[in-house]
Amino acid sequence: MLSTKWISFLSVALVVFVTVFASSDRAESNPQGERKTMLRHVVIFKFKETSSAADVQKVVDGFRGLKAKIPQIASFEFGTNNSPEGLNDGFTHCFLVTFKDEKDRDVYLPHPAHKAFVDVLKPHLEKAMVIDYWAGE
Amino acid sequence: MLSTKWISFLSVALVVFVTVFASSDRAESNPQGERKTMLRHVVIFKFKETSSAADVQKVVDGFRGLKAKIPQIASFEFGTNNSPEGLNDGFTHCFLVTFKDEKDRDVYLPHPAHKAFVDVLKPHLEKAMVIDYWAGE
């Protein structure tokens, strides 16, 4: 049996522990829940007019499939342009690949799975734009 | 005074509570800690050769300052190109603005603070590229 004094002490200790744990978790993330110090790899494609919707889908599926083949990809997201501003210059598909650091990007770029994907992409690619950056606020 | 039985019960209840709380938080996020169903607004700038580093910094600071003026901006991040691929076509600065939905983007685009920022940007802008997309995996 513990005294109420001990129970109070343990409760306070637990609250302090949980608070510290929760705030240390928050320190790694920005208010939107995204980790800081991520290396972003923004890839934008304009496809050939001669490429069919099925061709484009094959490219999208190929890119999406890289995450399972290259563990250095920390996260992957993708979407098609829906900006009302008309400043996309014919580019329609945007891929946001995130790496932990440049070392992981160095594994990704020459990776056989990435190269195989580029072979699928090439016949349908009108133009690609790639911008990488360290995510800062 | 509480019996050890009660203390055990309370401990288990607390663990269950913390676990449920933590996993419900996780359910909102993908494994990288980023929320799903975000509207991404990717903005890439190529600056004029005549613009100085200070001019460019003024633009960056202006863009960065919008988050405090337009609450519809859910998150903002920014970085300069460091891709080794050479596919940036002269574009150097990438801004990733995230909105909850299209309604928030509809507030942002014509917002006076956004328009004032564009006035700061325009004299130094060689070219802008904008791609918006719903983040999917």
What is the SS3 assignment for B26? Answer: helix
Chain-chain contact of B132 with A76 (C-beta, under 8 angstroms): no
pLDDT score for A113: 98
Tokens 């700061």 correspond to B120
Cβ–Cβ < 8 Å for A38, A99: yes
Residues of chain B with pLDDT under 50: 15-35
Residues of A in contact with B3 (CB under 8 A): 1
Cβ–Cβ < 8 Å for A67, A73: yes
pLDDT score for A37: 79
Cβ–Cβ < 8 Å for B61, A9: no
Instruction: Give CA–CA dist A43/A94, Å, rounded.
Output: 6
Residue to mutate among B3, B46, B131, with most A CBs inside 10 A, is B131
Question: Measured between CA atoms, how close is B95 to chain A, in angstroms?
Answer: 9
Q: Note the CATH architecture for domain B39-134.
A: 2-Layer Sandwich (3.30)
Chain-chain contact of A85 with B33 (C-beta, under 8 angstroms): no
Indicate the helix (H) or strand (E) that contains B18: helix B4-27
What is chain A's pLDDT, residue by residue, as a tens digit (137 residues)? 556 666 565 555 554 444 444 444 333 333 444 445 799 999 999 999 999 999 999 999 999 999 999 999 999 999 999 999 999 999 999 999 999 999 999 999 999 999 999 999 999 999 999 999 999 88
Instruction: Give CA–CA dist B99/B106, Å, rounded.
Output: 10
Instruction: Give CA–CA dist A9/A11, Å, rounded.
Output: 5
What is the value of ipTM here, to two decimals? Answer: 0.74
Strand partners, A132: A41
Nearest to B1 among A4, A14, A84 (CB): A4
pLDDT score for A2: 57
Residue boundaries of the structural domains of chain B: 1-32, 39-134
Class of residue A123 by CB neighbours under 10 A (exposed 0-12, middle 13-18, buried 19+): exposed
Please state the pTM of the whole predicted model: 0.75
pLDDT score for A36: 53
Instruction: Give CA–CA dist A53/A61, Å, rounded.
Output: 12
Chain-chain contact of A96 with B30 (C-beta, under 8 angstroms): no
Indicate the helix (H) or strand (E) that contains A24: helix A4-27
Residues of B in contact with A74 (CB under 8 A): 32
Residue to mutate among B17, B19, B34, with most A CBs inside 10 A, is B34
Cβ–Cβ < 8 Å for A79, A35: no
* First-to-final CA distance of chain A: 52
**Structure tokens given for A56:** 């484009």
Write the DSSP assignment of B42-78 as a string of letters: EEEEEE-TT--HHHHHHHHHHHHHHHHH-TTEEEEEE
Helical pair B53-69 and B112-121, crossing angle rounded to 10 deg: 170
